[in-house]
Amino acid sequence: MSVRVRLVTYFVVVHLAMAGVGGWLVWTSSPFWLLAVEAALVLSLAVGIALIRRAVSYQALAADASRLVHDEAFTSRFLPVGEPDVDAMIALYNRMVDRLRDERVRLAEQHQFLAQVIAASPSGIVVLGFDDEVTSLNPAAARIVDRAAAGLTGRRIAALETPLADALDALAPGESRVVGSDGAGRVRIRRGTFVDRGFARGFYVIEELTSELRQAERAAYEKLIRVMSHEVNNTVASSTSLLQSSLTYASELGGESRRDFETALGVVIARTGQLNTFMKGFADVFRLPAPARQPCELVAILERVVALLSARPDAAGIAWRWELDAPSIRVHADPAQLEQAILNVVKNAVEAVDGTGAVTIRATSNTGPPTLVVEDSGAGLTPEVQANLFTPFFSTKPNGQGIGLTLVGEILAGHGFDYDLERTARDTTAFRITFT
């Protein structure tokens, strides 16, 4: 039973009782009591009705306030009614809705600003739900993570089944590391958390190692290699000179001792020469001249490279497949540098199949910029290997120096060509060059 019903019931019962008492007094006493009782009853009715109407109006006021708060209509305010207690409550309500309105406007403006920043950010941002499902991702993330990431919302990031997606899914909260992506070279990934309605949610930040970062990294490697090359060359030159001079004393030895002496010094001289060649190879990577670009016949370069590598003993069992959309494809590049880069790419493909498998040479030019893809059926790339691609000194070969892909990257970057090395959906490895 509401307060209004109880108040009206009390009012009716009291006045019926008063009317009964008045009737009894009139019946048993002087008729003048009738006038007195009627006057008191009318006055009580008037005062009671006024009080009930005021109480009902306050109750309606409270109901309106409750409805406005429920509907989040924070632009409505109440005027004072002349009742001190009620006016105090009205003032408190008005201050509350003013603060809520200002807070909602501020949050809406911040949310709009944050949404615009996230949408325009060059870094990929992936927001997760309470069960680690993807709730949203900005355009940069959609581009870096996967070219068909539109259907990713509502699923876990690992549903993409790519090395980058697997690396993201394996990240612990607060962890950050550099990995290889499926088309953006190397990227730095980080997983963070935030609180939403009292529960933790996660997000990923994916940063491409931009050309500025790449140049800074290149400068650091170049300085390191230059210092190492200088010290090694000086040491090798001095050591070789001393060793050559020491050979002159071989004539003072006889028989077996002389042969052992000459053999030992010959081995040391050869090893120092190899060390000098080793360091020169690293130094030459960072001393590439600016490309002298001119029109080149890409198919002719590919034929020369394949003819050279197919003659290797370890390439005898390889099936070479050609997929060309035109017999002649012209690109604008430095012929010598481009041939060196393609030679290293195809050589890696030959070594990846380990004598048995297929290497596909795919070149297209009719559907956009000229594109070259060298695809091999080898064992593929592990996440660890993909994270370190194009990094100086890194090699998966037992005797590798880590120069080949670094040189390829320097040549292609110097030309401004886009390139990437990725694992395909067919479980093959493909090196793609776009001649932009």
Tally of residues, the chain: 436
pLDDT in tens, the chain (436 residues): 555 566 667 667 766 776 776 666 666 665 666 666 667 667 777 766 766 676 666 667 777 777 777 777 777 777 777 777 777 877 887 888 888 888 888 888 888 888 888 888 888 888 898 888 888 888 888 877 765 565 778 888 888 777 778 788 888 888 887 776 655 456 788 898 888 888 889 899 988 765 556 666 666 666 666 666 666 666 777 677 777 777 777 777 777 777 777 777 777 777 677 666 666 665 665 666 778 889 999 999 998 888 888 878 878 788 899 998 888 889 999 888 888 889 888 888 888 887 788 899 999 888 788 999 999 887 766 555 555 555 555 555 555 555 667 778 878 888 888 888 777 777 788 888 888 7
Tokens 């010598």 belong to 336
Sign of the C-alpha dihedral computed for residues 69, 75, 81 and 86 taken in this order: positive
Give the pair of three-digit tokens for residue 193.
């958390």
Residues near 173 by Cβ (< 8 Å), separated by ≥ 6?
191, 192, 193, 202
Crossing angle of helices 404-415/211-247, nearest 10°? Answer: 130
User: Using alpha carbons only, how large is the chain's radius of gyration in Å?
Assistant: 43
Neighbours of 360 (CB within 10 A): 17
Residues near 312 by Cβ (< 8 Å), separated by ≥ 6?
350
β-sheet bridge partners, residue 319: 358
Instruction: Judge: domain 121-209, CATH 3.30.450.20.
Output: yes
Residue 244: HSE in the Cβ half-sphere, 13 Å Cα cutoff = 9
The H-or-E segment that residue 57 falls in is helix 32-70
Residue 343's closest CA among 372, 313, 381, 378?
372
Q: Under CATH, domain 294-434 is a member of which superfamily?
A: Histidine kinase-like ATPase, C-terminal domain (3.30.565.10)
Contact 353, 391 (CB under 8 A): no
Phi-psi label, residue 81: left if phi above 0, alpha if psi -120 to 50, beta otherwise: alpha
Tokens 């325009």 belong to 120
- Strands (E) in 129-267, as ranges, are 134-137, 176-180, 186-196, 199-208
Nearest 5°: CA angle at 334, between 329 and 339? 70
